[in-house]
Homo-oligomer: A and B are copies of this chain.
Amino acid sequence: MDQTFESYVDQHFDEFVEQLREYCKHPCMTGQGIGVRETAEATSDVLRGLGADTHILETSGAPVVFGEIGSGDRTLLFYNHYDVQPPEPLDLWESEPFAAEVRDGKVYARGVADNRGDVMARVQAVQSYLATKGDLPVKIKFIIEGEEEIGSPSLQAFVKAHRDLLACDGCIWEGAGRDHEDRSVLCLGLKGVVHLELRLREAKVDLHSSFATIVPNAAWRMVWALSTLKSPDDKITVDGLIERVFVPTEQQLDLLRAIPFDEKELRTDLEIESFIQNLTGLPLLRKHLYEPTCTIQGLFSGYSGIGLKAVSPCEAIAKIEFRLVPNLEPDEVIRLLREHLDRRGFEDIEIITHAALGNAQASPDEKISVAAVQASEEIDHKRPIVYPWMAASGPMSFFSVDLGVPVVGAGSLWWYDARAHAPNESIRLMDYRKGISLIATIIDRFAAA
């Protein structure tokens, strides 16, 4: 900890909070076409105010705000987004979602946890660094996109088209936040995912169910098809899929052993008596993080009203997703599924791909991983919780895979009741203050690693 730096931040903290509040006052719901350009401009102004060489770059969708500051052999990239989730339902908010009210030691605003607090903490960390410690020891690049909350549809093409601009040695993503015991949670990657829709059609219309004797029923055929994809013991049975899954190394298993995973609390929270297959301990965590999934997101066919309707449905739709661990690539999984269905007489089931993202992984030995872990421990005075990767998915792979850069989720201001995507989203001021120090420390540790 650099006392000059810390004093500077303490002195300017009220001002920093006001800057954060100002930034949170820009609604930006890209899916609804609200505030996109204006918020990109505001974001650009923030980076320009820092002294960064800043550009608003067009994509096929919302523009990307890019900024670059400092020099050095090593380059650190910060990924963030300036868009937010829609604030609805408005009546559940205790203060206006874009008023950024401060109360009880928190800032309440749509997007403050996800991820505008992060944006400002990073900028203010760099500003404080420059004001107190002199030149940055690494070059810092910011990429702040405007489509994260709608699945980053333009980001991959943007990254591929701007390899040189984005070139870096490590990337800090939006992180995973803090747990109940105030430990920092870092994640060194994400699972991949394919979101698919299976569609099946039989007769031209729903039939009177008395004909279900002899006319194929779409709901039944979908049930039979799905039942071949995963067995009741929760094993994925798509031909050739499980065989491809990576086998974790001892180092990877050690990462799991070090995670304090509160099973009981999760069970209580979800009101379930047990986890799948009654798993517990390491096998539970191993299944959660190191195994792929095949999940039914939605299933619908036929009559969904009150009571009964004597129909035999002609159409059935299943929305399914596969979360992917290393060695499973989206295209390969879709191909395996197609062949699996064809082999069983389900050639007529159409597969529509709604989204596909690869998995992302950074080794714990990467410089950026080591720097993030060291910085967290230094600031928190306790070991952070390090996830090998999140069970969720995101566009991290565009950087990790397409750009070949190790990406780490760290420094997030999410706390356990941050309510991201929900009414009364907030960050705690104490986390915000620590977050600024954490970013400055990551910069130093990354420079020295």
Residues of A within 8 A of B (CB): 191, 193, 195, 197, 202-205, 207-217, 219-224, 226-227, 230, 232, 270-272, 275-276, 279, 284, 287-289, 291, 293, 295-304, 307-313, 316-317, 319, 321, 323, 345, 354-355, 390-393
- A210 & B390 in contact (Cβ 8 Å cutoff): yes
Task: Give the residue of B193, B296, B310, B390 whose beta carbon is less than 8 angstroms from that of A223.
Answer: B296
- Known A-B contacts A214-B279, A276-B216, A392-B210; the reply to A319 vs B323 at CB < 8 A is no
Nearest CB in chain B to that of A272: its residue: B203
- B295 & A209 in contact (Cβ 8 Å cutoff): yes
- A391 & B211 in contact (Cβ 8 Å cutoff): yes
Stoichiometry (number of copies): 2
- A297 & B312 in contact (Cβ 8 Å cutoff): yes
- A203 & B271 in contact (Cβ 8 Å cutoff): yes
Q: Which 10 A-B pairs have the closest CB atoms?
A: A219-B296, A298-B302, A298-B303, A227-B227, A195-B308, A210-B391, A212-B295, A210-B392, A204-B271, A203-B270
Which B residues lie within 8 Å of A297 (CB)? 209, 219, 302-303, 308-313
- Known A-B contacts A223-B299, A299-B300, A303-B297; the reply to A216 vs B272 at CB < 8 A is yes
Which B residues lie within 8 Å of A193 (CB)? 310
Nearest CB in chain B to that of A344: its residue: B232
Separation of A307 and B219 alpha carbons in the complex (Å): 20
Cβ of A337 to closest chain B Cβ, rounded Å: 16
Nearest CB in chain B to that of A204: its residue: B271
Cβ of A284 to closest chain B Cβ, rounded Å: 6
Cβ of A11 to closest chain B Cβ, rounded Å: 40
Separation of A303 and B297 alpha carbons in the complex (Å): 6
Nearest CB in chain B to that of A207: its residue: B270
- A210 & B323 in contact (Cβ 8 Å cutoff): yes
Known: A222-B299, A297-B303, A297-B310. 12 other contacts (CB 8 A): A195-B307, A197-B308, A208-B392, A213-B287, A220-B230, A220-B295, A220-B296, A296-B312, A296-B313, A297-B309, A298-B313, A299-B300
